[in-house]
Structure 1
Amino acid sequence: MSGLRWVKSSFSDAGGNNCVEVATLESGSAALRESDCPGIVLVASRAALGALVQGVKKDAFAPRSP
């Protein structure tokens, strides 16, 4: 995944640590990585990434009590 233009999240700390970075692939899919471990990259469609972001914003992934 060399040659990609990685963009850091606007919520990243000023020191450059603990950052989520995103890049767009030629296929239109999105690549995500953690700045502390850049060798591990998650690739997802734009639709899947959008659904994940919306779910997190809505707290849809929070653990629920039975």
Structure 2
Amino acid sequence: MITSIFFVLGVITLYWSILNWVTAKAESQNKPVNIKNIRVAVGTTCAVVSVFALQLIVRDSHLS
């Protein structure tokens, strides 16, 4: 249970750090930035990457 809590907190921290990095990069280009679109794109990308990463981890095992 404790390991799961720290795993979830790590995933949230990773998401927020990626989101802040992408937002800062977008704002540094001096163009109008829609933060909501950036959040959706980063969230979707993180979800897709995590799903594929989990599939790669369990492939060819009894868990697949």
Q: Which has the higher helix share?
A: 2
Higher relative contact order (CA 8 A, sep 6+): 2
Q: Which has the higher strand share?
A: 1
- In our comparison, the structure showing a higher alpha carbon Rg is 2
